[in-house]
Amino acid sequence: MRTQHTRPSPLFLALLAVTVGGGVLTIVESEFALTAGVVILVLGGWAVSLCLHEFGHAIVAYRGGDREVKWKGYLTLDIRRYTDPLLSFVLPLIFLLIGGIPLPGGAVWINHHALRNKRVESWVSLAGPLTNLVLGALLTIAVQLFFPDGEITPLSAGLSFLALLQFMAFLLNILPVPGLDGWGAIEPYLSYKAQVFGQKARQWAPLILFAVLIGLPAVGSAFFDIAYSIFDAVGGSRYSAALGYGTFMFWR
Catalytic residues: 54
Nearest alpha carbon to residue 216 among 227, 224, 228, 204? 224
Residue 28 C-beta-side C-alpha neighbours within 13 Å: 14
| DSSP 8-class letter at 73 | T
Polymer length of the chain: 252
Whole-number Å distance between alpha carbons of 214 and 233: 25
Helix count (H) and strand count (E) of the chain?
A: 12, 0
Q: What single-letter amino acid sits at 244?
A: G
List of long-range contacts for 83-87, beta carbons under 8 Å, 24+ apart: 83/107, 83/109
Rg, C-alpha atoms of the chain: 18
Burial class (CB in 10 A: 0-12, 13-18, 19+), 113: exposed
